[in-house]
A = this chain, B = another copy of it.
């Protein structure tokens, strides 16, 4: 809680932790990144998102959208017609966030195979499926 004393070569100052925390608080959960990516081509309705994001429950879509709305990543617009019609759209900040996540997504595409391989090697050493 107090200021860092001692040698400053040690890497992380509290603000460092703070920055990573901010990002993870926004997109570190199970669905946020997926929602943000699904809004890349413009506004989408609740049900469209529900169908596009495979496996998400109604509750989690609502929770995720509310959280992103609170953070100013997207806007929620109610069109008061029958039947009810609600659309979600990235804000300017939301667009910049999506762009900032792009390298990470590309990274995962580029290295997915290597990661699977590394995991297999690691697991094989610890759990060699050997008899007795």
Contact = CB atoms under 8 A, between A and B. Distances in A.
Contact of A103 (B11, B38, B103): B103
Contact of A118 (B28, B54, B70): B70
A37 B75 CA distance: 32
A10 B48 contact: yes
A55 B24 CA distance: 16
Nearest to A10: B52
13 contacts: A11-B44, A17-B53, A19-B112, A20-B34, A20-B105, A20-B108, A24-B33, A28-B28, A69-B122, A100-B104, A100-B107, A102-B103, A104-B104
Copies of this protein chain in the complex = 2
A79 interface: no
A57 to B, nearest CB: 14
Interface in A31-78: 33-34, 37-38, 40-41, 44, 48, 51-55, 69-72
Interface string A1-38: 00000000011101011011011101011100110011
Contacts of A105: 19-20, 23
A96 B100 contact: no
A22 B108 contact: yes
